[in-house]
Structures are given as C-alpha cells and as structure tokens.
C-alpha cells in the first residue's frame, strides 16, 4: 500500500493521526515572519538559523468513546535577540516540544483547555504546521534575553574595569625620603 503523503501547511490532522503519520523538515527562519519581524532582526550578527521540526500523529483508544486525536510537535532553532545586559546581539537557542489534543470544535477545545495540561485545539482538515511551530517558538522566547557570558566588559560596571597598573615607585616620594634622611628627620 502506498503511504499517504501529508502536506505540512495544510495538514489533515485526523487522517495524519489515523495513519500514525510522521513529518520532518526544515524551514528558513525568513518564512516565519513573526519570529524575525521584531527590531532585533536588524541586529543579527550572522546568518539566521533554520527551523528544524518534527510532527507525529497519534490516535489513543478510549473505552466507550471515540479515540483521541493527538499531534506531537518538536521544533528547534536559534534566534538573534538583544542581550539585556550588554545590549549587543546574542544568538539564543529555542526549543519546543508540545502535544496537542484535537477535539470536535472550538467550544469543546476551550472547555478542555482549562482542565488538561496539554494544548487543546479544534479539529481541522487544514492545519498550518508552520504557523503552529511559529506560535510555539514565539512563546518559548526568553523574556529577558541574555548572553551566558557577555562578549565585552560592561561600561556601567566600574568594578569590572581593566586591572589597575602595577604601582610604580613615585620619583618625588623617593626624593622626599632622601631629603628627610639628609636633614635628620625620620623618613
Ligand atoms: Zn550580553
């Protein structure tokens, strides 16, 4: 039997789950407009990483009820953000791993979403996986992006200034000492 091909930008979720389908791929970050549209985008200090992703469908049998439809999603990339400590661009890893339960309609989704930890979405025959991945990556963004180790010393942090020079003997102090000795005063 020929395996059915699934279209990631128009995914028939139920068919994907019933087939225990798996999809994997990469998208250039430029295709995820909301992810790179912030003011940070202009401050990138290198090329944008691709978004690597994987999706898997699953149906879970239930007693005396329709089986549940699940979608398991993973995605990873690196994004350029402005470090809130040194204000230089920093590239930070983003990673998401989430499971979605698909139910008959929005009303049921809203009701269930409050009860269970996983996300609940309304069933669709045309799910845009890229949009879902983008949503999740945006949610995974750090609120206060920071380098693990900032590349340069911070201006406002005086204590981190370069080490003071070796103290040199002051020639005038040396002279004073000699004069003192000559005039009989204690040095
Ligand atoms: Zn920094």
If you measure from the C-alpha of residue 78 to the centroid of ligand 1, how many angstroms do you get, rounded to a whole number?
Answer: 16
Distances (CA, A) of 172 to 175, 179, 184, 187: 5, 10, 18, 13
pLDDT at 120 over 70: yes
Kindly give, in sequence order, each residue whose CB lies less than 8 Å from that of residue 33, ignoring residues fewer than 6 positions away.
none
If you measure from the C-alpha of residue 90 to the centroid of ligand 1, how many angstroms do you get, rounded to a whole number?
Answer: 7
Q: What domain count does the chain have? A: 1
If you measure from the C-alpha of residue 6 to the centroid of ligand 1, how many angstroms do you get, rounded to a whole number?
Answer: 42
Distance (Å, rounded) from C-alpha 52 to C-alpha 137? 11
Structure tokens that stand for 131 in this block: 């949009």
If you measure from the C-alpha of residue 137 to the centroid of ligand 1, how many angstroms do you get, rounded to a whole number?
Answer: 21
Pairing of strands 119-122, 89-103: parallel
Of residues 154 and 142, which shows the higher confidence score?
142
**Does residue 171 sit within a domain?**
no
If you measure from the C-alpha of residue 29 to the centroid of ligand 1, how many angstroms do you get, rounded to a whole number?
Answer: 23
If you measure from the C-alpha of residue 180 to the centroid of ligand 1, how many angstroms do you get, rounded to a whole number?
Answer: 54
Distance (Å, rounded) from C-alpha 79 to C-alpha 134? 12
Taking the model in full, what pTM does it have? 0.75
**Does residue 118 sit within a domain?**
yes
If you measure from the C-alpha of residue 157 to the centroid of ligand 1, how many angstroms do you get, rounded to a whole number?
Answer: 13
**Does residue 79 sit within a domain?**
yes
Q: In which domain, by residue range, is 31 found?
A: 13-159
Tell me what pLDDT residue 171 has.
55
pLDDT in tens, 102-111: 998 888 888 8
**Does residue 165 sit within a domain?**
no
If you measure from the C-alpha of residue 154 to the centroid of ligand 1, how many angstroms do you get, rounded to a whole number?
Answer: 9
**Does residue 3 sit within a domain?**
no
**Does residue 183 sit within a domain?**
no
**Does residue 35 sit within a domain?**
yes
Q: What is the mean pLDDT of residues 11-17?
A: 97
Tell me what pLDDT residue 75 has.
98
Tell me what pLDDT residue 69 has.
96
Looking at every residue in the chain, the average pLDDT score rounds to 83
pLDDT at 165 over 80: no
**Does residue 181 sit within a domain?**
no
Distance (Å, rounded) from C-alpha 19 to C-alpha 70? 12
**Residues with CB in 5 Å of ion ligand 1:** 83, 85-86, 147, 150
């Amino acid at each position: 039997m020929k395996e059915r091909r699934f279209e990631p930008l128009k995914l028939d979720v139920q068919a994907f789950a019933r087939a225990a389908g798996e999809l994997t791929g990469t998208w250039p970050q430029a295709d995820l407009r909301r992810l790179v549209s912030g003011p940070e985008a202009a401050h990138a200090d290198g090329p944008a990483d691709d978004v690597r992703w994987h999706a898997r469908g699953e149906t879970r049998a239930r007693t005396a009820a329709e089986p549940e439809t699940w979608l398991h999603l993973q995605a990873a990339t690196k994004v350029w953000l402005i470090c809130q400590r040194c204000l230089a661009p920093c590239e930070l890893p983003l990673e998401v791993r989430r499971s979605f339960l698909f139910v008959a309609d929005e009303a049921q989704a809203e009701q269930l979403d409050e009860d269970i930890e996983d996300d609940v979405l309304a069933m669709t025959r045309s799910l845009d996986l890229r949009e879902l991945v983008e949503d999740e990556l945006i949610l995974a963004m750090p609120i206060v992006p920071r380098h693990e180790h900032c590349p340069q010393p911070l201006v406002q942090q005086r204590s981190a200034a370069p080490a003071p020079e070796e103290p040199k003997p002051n020639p005038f102090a040396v002279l004073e000492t000699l004069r003192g000795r000559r005039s009989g005063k204690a040095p």
